[in-house]
A and B are shown apart, each in its own frame.
Chain A
Amino acid sequence: MIPNLFEIFATPYLLKVPLMWLAVMAPAMIIFSPSQHLVTGRYILLKKWTMKQFIKQIMSPLPTHGYKWAALFTALMITLTSINMISLLPHTFTPTAQLALTMALAFPLWLATVVIGLLKKTTRSLAHFLPEGSPTPLIPALVVVETISLLIRPMALGVRLAANLTAGHLLLQLMALAVIHLPTPMWPATVAVATTLMLLTILEVAVGLIQAYVFVLLLSLYLQENI
Chain B
Amino acid sequence: MAGPDSGTEHQFTGIKKYFNSYTLTGRRNCVLATYASIGLIVLYFKLRPKKNPEDGK
When A and B form their complex, what is the total count of cross-chain residue pairs whose Cβ atoms lie within 8 Å?
A: 42
Q: What are the residues of chain B within 8 A of A136 when measuring CB–CB? A: 21
Q: Do the beta carbons of A139 and B22 come within 8 Å of each other?
A: no
List residues of chain A with CB under 8 Å of any chain B CB: 122-124, 126-127, 129-136, 139-140, 143-144
On whether A123 and B34 interact (CB within 8 A), knowing A133-B21, A134-B21, A139-B21, the answer reads: no
On whether A127 and B22 interact (CB within 8 A), knowing A140-B34, A143-B34, the answer reads: no
Q: Do the beta carbons of A123 and B31 come within 8 Å of each other?
A: no
Q: What are the residues of chain B within 8 A of A129 when measuring CB–CB? A: 27, 31
Q: Do the beta carbons of B34 and A139 come within 8 Å of each other?
A: yes
Q: From residue A115, how far is it (CB to closest CB) to chain B in Å?
A: 17
6 other A-B residue contacts (CB within 8 Å) besides A124-B24, A144-B38: A126-B32, A127-B28, A131-B21, A132-B21, A136-B21, A143-B31
Q: What residue of chain A has the Cβ atom nearest to residue B21's Cβ?
A: A134
Q: Do the beta carbons of A130 and B22 come within 8 Å of each other?
A: no
Q: What residue of chain A has the Cβ atom nearest to residue B35's Cβ?
A: A143
